[in-house]
Amino acid sequence: MNLENTKAQMRKGILEYCILALLSDKEAYASELIQTLKEARLLVVEGTIYPLLTRLKNDGLLNYRWEESTGGPPRKYYMITPLGKDFLKELAKTWVQLTQSVQKVTQTNQ
Amino acid sequence: MNLENTKAQMRKGILEYCILALLSDKEAYASELIQTLKEARLLVVEGTIYPLLTRLKNDGLLNYRWEESTGGPPRKYYMITPLGKDFLKELAKTWVQLTQSVQKVTQTNQ
DNA sequence: AAAAAGTACTATGCAATACATGGTACTGTT
DNA sequence: AACAGTACCATGTATTGCATAGTACTTTTT
């Protein structure tokens, strides 16, 4: 049992929600998302985010377009789809309910 | 991509926290924990909780004692250890930080 | 001009975990 | 004796975060 591992487990399933939320605000490419999440102390790495974006795109929650970069290779800018917005709404509800449940269960002690 | 699946993913890693929190309040056996979590709308099933309790026990965060039941087979009452309490404190911190991060990332939209 | 460094995307494999499923064992009721 | 209810346990599967390694393009350094 290791704390870092448990932290990683807690992050599971939340990334989808965070990424959809960020992209519902404005489109972005992968490295940009990593940077934003890092600033919010949500550590994410390339090996996590690229497969996740591909998954979300394959499921019709995201789309992307290529854009040339001033330096470096072209970027894939991801944007949320209407289906993605619907899904985001559900995830937001789920998240609120989950935090309430955890609150309820953990409040008795300390 | 399926909402129920994503909900399950969100629950991941939170169960450990919830169970330690419940057991820090008072000892309990598996079916009792399932019932309590159910009442908090945190759905858990046997196949999830038994391996989890065993894992926490093997890692020294929990202990148990057998107790005869008035009806049915004897029960394993689990209780938290000092190490478990330390771990719980860390998990509580982690959870607070995580919810803050999610808040930060998801607040811009809607 | 060639080499190095930086940026961005992609592919593969592993480990951890929630859950489905099926099974064992004990008690009390019919 | 058969059945239902309670409680615990074992095995296999799917999903997912992450480590690792690799490709491709551009700019800077030598």
Instruction: Give me the CATH number covering residue A84.
Output: 1.10.10.10
pLDDT in the model for residue A5:
85
Point out the residue among A10, A16, A36 whose CB comes nearest to the CB of B94.
Answer: A10
Distances (CA, A) of B56 to A22, B79, B93: 35, 11, 19
The nearest CA of chain A is from the CA of B18 a distance in Å of 6
The confidence band for A1, taking pLDDT boundaries of 50, 70 and 90, is: low
Q: What is the pLDDT of residues A56-83, one digit of tens each?
A: 999 999 999 999 887 788 999 999 999 9
Q: What are the angstrom distances between the C-alpha of A95 and each of A76, A88, B54?
A: 28, 10, 28
CB of B106 within 8 Å of any CB in chain A? yes
**CA–C1' distance B36–D1 (Å)?**
37
By C-alpha distance, the chain A residue nearest B16 is A6
Mean pLDDT along residues A8-33: 92
A58 touches strand D (CB under 7 A): no
Task: Decide which of B27 and A1 is more confident.
Answer: B27
DSSP string covering A86-105: HHHHHHHHHHHHHHHHHHHH
Q: Which residues of B touch A3 (CB under 8 A)?
A: 87, 90-91, 94
The whole-number pLDDT of residue B25 equals 92
**Per-residue pLDDT, A3:** 82
pLDDT at B110 over 80: no
Q: Name the B residues in 34-73 with CB < 8 Å from any A CB.
A: 36-37, 40-42, 55-56, 59-61
The distance (Å) linking the CA of B37 with the C1' of C27 is 26
- Rounded to a whole number, what is the distance in angstroms from the first to the last CA of chain A? 22
CB A77 within 8 A of CB A29: yes
**Hey, what are B23's tokens?**
């057991």
Q: Give the distance, in angstroms, between residue B9 CA and nucleotide C17 C1'.
A: 9
Interface membership of B18 toward A (CB under 8 Å): yes
Considering its fold, how many domains does chain B have in total? 1
Residue-wise pLDDT tens digits, A38-56 = 999 888 899 999 999 999 9
Tokens found for residue B30: 């598996």
- Residue span of the structural domain in which B69 resides: 3-106
In this model, does residue A27 exceed pLDDT 80? yes
